[in-house]
Every structure is written in C-alpha cells, then in structure tokens.
Amino acid sequence: MTPAYCQGMVRRQDEDRWLAAGYAQGDAKRRLLALYAFHIELKNIPAAVSEPPLGEIRLQWWREGLQEIRDGKRPRAHPVVEDLAAAGLADEKFEAAIERAIDAAARPLYGEGFTAIDDLTDWLAAAEATFDGIAVGLLGGDKALCAATAQTGTAFALAREGASLAPALAGEITARARSILNDSTAGLQNVPPDIAPALAHLSLTRRYLRPQRGPFPLSKRLRIFASIARGRF
C-alpha cells in the first residue's frame, strides 16, 4: 500500500482531516488517508463534468470498483482504488454506509440548493459525516462510538461548510450545529488513543462556529494536538 497519492490529495484539499490523521500510526494512518481521498474524489466529481449523466457514470465507476474488490477481483488501476482495497474499505460492513455517501454525492450534480435546515442537515450527514463514522470503524471503534462520531461529524460539516452551501440559512445552521454538539459529544468520552486520530478534527467544530473566523493555521494545529493529548473532542 503506497499512500503518497492519497496523502497529497488529503493534505491539499482537507487539511483538517489530514492534520488529525497525522497522529495515527502505520496502517491506521494509511487507512484514514485512503478513506479521505475517496471522499475527496466523490466531492470533486461535479466540478469535473459538464453534465449530470457524466457525473453519475463516475459515481457508478466507484460503486463497481468497490464491488469488484468485494468479489475478489484485482483492484482497478487507480491509486485511490488500490489503497481502498488495501485499507479494507470494500469490506461488507462498510458497504451500506459507503453506498449512502455515494448516493448523496449525486445531488450536487444537479445544482440543487438547500432552502430548509433539515434538508441540509440530512444531506451533510450522508455526504460528509458518514465518512467520520466509517473512519472510527476502520480503526476498530464500536457501533456506539461510530454513531456518536457521525453525529458530531454532522455538526462539524454544518459549521465548516453549511454557510457556503446555504447562505440564507446561516443563523439556523449555527443553532442546529450547536444543538447537535450538545447531544452528541457525551458519546465521545474516553476515546481510545489509537482511535482518536479518526475524530480529532471534530474538535474544530466550535471554532468554525465563531463569527468572522477566517484562517487559523496555528490554533487549528494546537487544538487538534490538545484533543489528541487529552482525549476530549
């Protein structure tokens, strides 16, 4: 498993998860980077195609690539597919979650906006937070921890990306993200150190909710380090 391609992609396009994954060791780090690179591949499809059917074809290509691995076939000659196979992402226990995420990735192809907070929240839970739950499962977390992580991941996605997706809902986005955090973070106590890198980026959620947040490269790194050291998210 050669993670250089995935690591470069995640570092460039999702620094938060890249920083957190950096605290994982060996195969655990490579698994996380493979998962996050796959996430990015799905997110990049709308900008790479000229019309929705072409995007649907690309999504189907990923579905079929993962199914081929489940069927015992050789992975397709693509660095992310190869790393997904080595990481165990094609395992049947992740199949339903990955299918949900791929299905959600089709929505941006059609330029559909969001006019209701429930709609936005549900979509981010499927398209974004699903990957946080899978990440914890990849590192051996149980179902309860995966569920709590995915719930908190929804708040993180709302805080980090919600306003850009639905500017008119900015006020509701902040309130909803804070509400989800209040309900979910109790389930993220006493996280084993070897699993913490899968969710340390979620510690940035409250920072993203602050008004006029702007770039925060140093404080971001310090916050993730502190969450790893203290086991608090």
Fold of the domain spanning 4-230? Farnesyl Diphosphate Synthase (1.10.600)
* Residue 73: pLDDT over 70: yes
| DSSP symbol at 126 | I
Residues 6 and 37: beta-carbon distance below 8 Å: yes
* Residue 233: pLDDT over 90: no
pLDDT for the residue 32: 98
pLDDT for the residue 1: 47
Q: What percent of the chain has pLDDT over 70?
A: 97
pLDDT for the residue 115: 96
Question: How far apart, in whole angstroms, are the C-alpha atoms of residue 139 and residue 218?
Answer: 27
Region of poorest pLDDT, from 7-11, 102-106, 160-164, 185-189: 185-189
pLDDT for the residue 227: 92
Question: How far apart, in whole angstroms, are the C-alpha atoms of residue 211 and residue 131?
Answer: 26
pLDDT for the residue 11: 97
